[in-house]
Structure 1
């Protein structure tokens, strides 16, 4: 997988993204959700025909409802999904090799947002801004709080309204 031109974290970003996509792929397969794994630049998966992008963040702590999920705005010209599924990976704090795939111990499927949810609920964060937890944004992003996401179970029961 090529490293994207705007990628701040390079290989590490690819690794984290691939793990998140794998988590969703396993989950969708387990619940027999009709989907097609395409992994295009424009979107990752088609769920019941809806273009879906998987966004994954790695964290040193378990996610909380007040935490934010991000999608970089530099992707807006290429990615135009109907749904976004957000994943958090929690890493061990004592493994310092950032390329060690075993540094992650837990994955959460946090929920999903529709394209309309993102345009009405998400906040624009500019490069250099700080998240409430102190992390500085390296690029402009659209951020939505975890508590604003729709339950992932709606995808299983086909209650998505994109």
Structure 2
């Protein structure tokens, strides 16, 4: 019984250590991805995304498939200044197989504090971003002001989207 307990305890700690190593690898991928944007390294940035990646931006109209996102982003990268996001906080969660992970992060950006969240997948070339959502973090006490500010835009977009359903 004592040997079983020791074996179980050892396997438990090996599992936790392996999970921590995977999370470190994912964290490094995300740090490199953000750094590539800050350095306007187009190839490095997009090589850290899957071929079917999706990037959802802060504007309600920004739901970019990878090739569209590349086209949108290219002029910014070509000017030598894309965007600069640095991590303030990040949480990473793993599936049981260790091949898919999801995360959320608070970022220091040129737009103030933003929240990023997404999905990364393990590929033959390492971890890659498959889906990313960027949102501007709005303090609760400012929501009514922001809602009023964007009311006209939202009404126009809602009408357009509803008309597209028919």
- TM above 0.5, yes or no, is no
Task: Give me the TM-score of the superposition, normalised by structure 1.
Answer: 0.30
Q: Which has the higher contact order (CA 8 A, sep 6+)?
A: 1
Task: Give me the TM-score of the superposition, normalised by structure 2.
Answer: 0.29
More helix by share: 2
